[in-house]
Structure 1
Amino acid sequence: MVRDLTDPELALCGKNKETALEAKAKGNECFSKGDYTNALHFYSQVERRDPF
């Protein structure tokens, strides 16, 4: 948890809409292929990087 708060890419100041949208697109691609494990991974990245 502390690492997530201090990591410049994951902390609040490191939120980035563009990287969130890229992760979402990758998640959607994995989901459409039935690769739910990787889709979940990418969707989790969206939550960490989405500014809102």
Structure 2
Amino acid sequence: LHPGPSLLLLLLHAVCGALFVAVESWSFLDSIYFTSVALTTVGYGDLTPQT
């Protein structure tokens, strides 16, 4: 197995989570949760960006 794709996905989650922390003032855990829901296109709707 090659760890590249997994590490890239982990990095993508971390970067997107950090952006939502900065822009939306959410906690890092909420930001990671929202990023996971948005990237997997599940769309629960419990967290929505305001900006």
TM-score (norm 1): 0.42
Would you tell me which structure has more helix in proportion to its own residues?
A: 1
* RCO comparison, higher one (Cα < 8 Å, 6+): 1
